[in-house]
Amino acid sequence: MKEKIVIVPLDERPCNLLFPERLFSNKDYHIVRPETLGDKKRPADPGKLASFLRRECKDADGLILSVDTLLYGGLVPSRIHHETKETLLSRMELIREIRKENPKMLIYAFQVIMRCPNYSSSDEEPYYYEQYGKAIHDAGAAIHKSRLGIKSKVQLSEMMERIDLRCLDDYISRRETNRDMNVETLQYLRDGWIDSLVIPQDDSAAYGYAAMDQTIIREKIREYDMIDKVLVYPGADEVELTLIARMINMMRGKCPKVYVKYAADKARDIVPLYEGLPLAETLKYHILSAGCQQTDSYEQADFVIVLTAPGQHMQEAVDQFENRNQEYEQRNLPEIIEFIKERIDEHKIVTIADNAYANGGDIDFIHMLDKNHLLMRVGGYAGWNTSANTIGTAIAEAVDVLYNGSGNQHDDFLAERYLEDGGYCSVVREHITEQLPSNMSYFDVKETHGIVSEQVKKELQIFAQNTLPSIAENLTITKVEMPWKRMFEVNLEVRYCHEKMV
């Protein structure tokens, strides 16, 4: 009989709503999720969500729960809501209710620390972030540095003059509410209503409002004596995949060993873009969060994870064709390719976290995988958004292969990653954005499917022919949509056929 795992996703984007089911639904596990959630800034209906949880959790073996969706209706609504603390506490009570109904169900929860982006845009933030976003971020960083005795380049008083204080008050009060709910969730873990808690840092930085909130939450974790129970690390959109991997490992009674291979040894110490921890430390958290353990011996490892990160500063993926910095040239990619070949020949699972760049895969490296006919021989590949998103996805792919092998469903997901992470994120997105009609913009393409999605499909097919020639004839793109009617992400479905199409 299949194990039933219920998921309440972070939001309705494919990476959160669809990736878990596409990767992990199989003969052993039945992934159940809400059919619909919200729509970007429109939150999910709390009544429908509660009904879903009451109905599906009665006979579930496990629940992966986004507390942000339970409380606010999604990730973006968590940044713009006007809910009272009393309302949020009443919604939190549902966890106790479903736990009492099914005491044996594992509940793995995650709750994001509210971010504070270093730019001015209201696409995913309150309306005033369009005008004051950068100034709000800079003010938070200055306040934080001042508390730590670090001098800022610009006086705090000068920064405050650039911000409407009513907007700043709204922003700070919401942060306080959300932080209070982070602490409330800690109490739920402390009291045994949930079994495991991850607090991911979305678009984090070393200084600022988010970093200060993290410090407060860490102090509370220490006060509750739960340092070994709560994981706080960079990430967000990959956490569902990570926690499903952890739950499956728990159900199987195993703790897979993971060997880490860097393309550049100095990469261990870099702080990836949009993150606040050195790469090696973040990686340890992700391995632990997935219910795995790092090992120094690839001979003893259940799977190997290869990281393509540079030895110093990380760039955006769209810049890889214009400016290859010296630290990228220092990566020994030929050695990595040979290492992958040898481990695969030894029947080791190899998964690739292509975190050379932020927001897209390394096209040179993907080309090398193609030349050496390794694309579909590896157990996993990811190269999207942040380094943390990439790492979590790659680990989850490896756990899936560990227990289920490389079946058709897994191969479809793997092929999607090359087309989406490499093709769309690194190449196609920027090219199409530059050619958008005058009535469209990066943040508004007017529709989920239409002329833009058709152009995306066309250019991804060209990308496959040019960059993935060893498997291009095996690929069929069956769906292309633009979630949230913008260019940042794409809902892509791909079928990989093992026999070349005639």
Query: What CATH number has the domain bearing residue 214?
Result: 3.40.50
CA angle 363, 365, 366 (to 5 degrees): 65
Task: Specify if 123 maps to a domain.
Answer: no
Task: Specify if 149 maps to a domain.
Answer: no
Please enumerate in sequence order all residues whose Cβ is within 8 A of that of 11, keeping only pairs 6 or more positions apart, or say none. Answer: 17, 37, 38, 40, 69, 74, 75, 76
Q: Which of 193, 182, 9, 177 is nearest to 101 (CA)?
A: 193
Please enumerate in sequence order all residues whose Cβ is within 8 A of that of 164, keeping only pairs 6 or more positions apart, or say none. Answer: 128, 131, 132
Are residues 486 and 376 both part of a single domain?
yes
Are residues 45 and 64 both part of a single domain?
yes
Residue type, 102: N
Report the distance separating Cα 379 and Cα 75, nearest Å: 30
Report the distance separating Cα 484 and Cα 239, nearest Å: 21
Q: Where are the alpha helices (DSSP H) in 272-407?
A: 279-289, 326-329, 333-345, 363-371, 387-404
Global pTM?
Answer: 0.96
Report the distance separating Cα 304 and Cα 174, nearest Å: 42
8: β partners: 65
Q: Please, what are the averages of pLDDT over each run of 10 residues along the chain (502 residues)?
A: 95 97 92 95 98 98 98 98 97 98 98 94 97 95 93 83 95 97 98 97 84 95 96 95 98 98 96 92 98 97 98 93 76 97 98 98 97 98 97 98 94 98 98 97 96 98 98 98 97 90 50
Report the distance separating Cα 339 and Cα 304, nearest Å: 10
Handedness of CA 394, 210, 8, 495 (dihedral sign): negative
Handedness of CA 292, 298, 304, 308 (dihedral sign): positive
Are residues 334 and 373 both part of a single domain?
yes
Are residues 468 and 354 both part of a single domain?
yes
Are residues 258 and 404 both part of a single domain?
yes
Are residues 202 and 349 both part of a single domain?
no
Are residues 262 and 230 both part of a single domain?
no
Measure the CA dihedral 456/459/461/465, to 10°: -160
Q: Which domain holds residue 216?
A: 3-115+178-246
63: β partners: 6, 107
352: β partners: 306, 381
pLDDT of the residue at 325:
67
pLDDT of the residue at 375:
98
Task: Specify if 447 maps to a domain.
Answer: yes
Give kind and range of the element (H or E) at residue 136. helix 129-147
3-class DSSP state of 66: strand
Task: Specify if 268 maps to a domain.
Answer: yes
pLDDT of the residue at 502:
46
Domain count, the chain: 2
Are residues 221 and 263 both part of a single domain?
no
Q: Where are the alpha helices (DSSP H) in 272-371?
A: 279-289, 326-329, 333-345, 363-371
Measure the CA dihedral 86/87/90/91, to 10°: -140
pLDDT of the residue at 329:
80
Q: Where are the alpha helices (DSSP H) in 264-332?
A: 279-289, 326-329
Please enumerate in sequence order all residues whose Cβ is within 8 A of that of 409, keeping only pairs 6 or more positions apart, or say none. Answer: 22, 23, 25, 26
CA angle 382, 277, 289 (to 5 degrees): 60
Handedness of CA 322, 326, 331, 332 (dihedral sign): positive
State which of 199, 227, 246 marks the end of a domain. 246
Are residues 220 and 267 both part of a single domain?
no
Report the distance separating Cα 390 and Cα 350, nearest Å: 15
What does residue 184 show for φ and ψ, rounded to 5 degrees?
A: -60, -40
Report the distance separating Cα 198 and Cα 251, nearest Å: 19
Task: Specify if 219 maps to a domain.
Answer: yes
For the chain, the C-alpha Rg in angstroms (whole number) is 22
State which of 220, 246, 272 marks the end of a domain. 246
Are residues 208 and 272 both part of a single domain?
no
Task: Specify if 157 maps to a domain.
Answer: no
Q: Cα dist. 445→376, 430, 437, 438, 448 in Å?
A: 33, 14, 9, 10, 8
Task: Specify if 502 maps to a domain.
Answer: no
What does residue 417 show for φ and ψ, rounded to 5 degrees?
A: -65, -40
Please enumerate in sequence order all residues whose Cβ is within 8 A of that of 113, keeping only pairs 6 or more positions apart, or say none. Answer: 179, 182, 199, 200, 201, 202, 204, 210, 213, 214, 217, 232
Task: Specify if 148 maps to a domain.
Answer: no
Q: Cα dist. 9→72, 110, 186, 401 in Å?
A: 12, 10, 19, 23
β 475-481/491-496 pair status = antiparallel
pLDDT of the residue at 157:
85
3-class DSSP state of 484: helix
Q: Sheet containing 380-382: give its strands across.
A: 293-295, 257-262, 303-307, 349-353, 380-382
Report the distance separating Cα 142 and Cα 358, nearest Å: 26
Are residues 69 and 7 both part of a single domain?
yes
pLDDT of the residue at 154:
76
DSSP 441: B
Are residues 370 and 321 both part of a single domain?
yes
DSSP 150: P
State which of 226, 246, 266 marks the end of a domain. 246
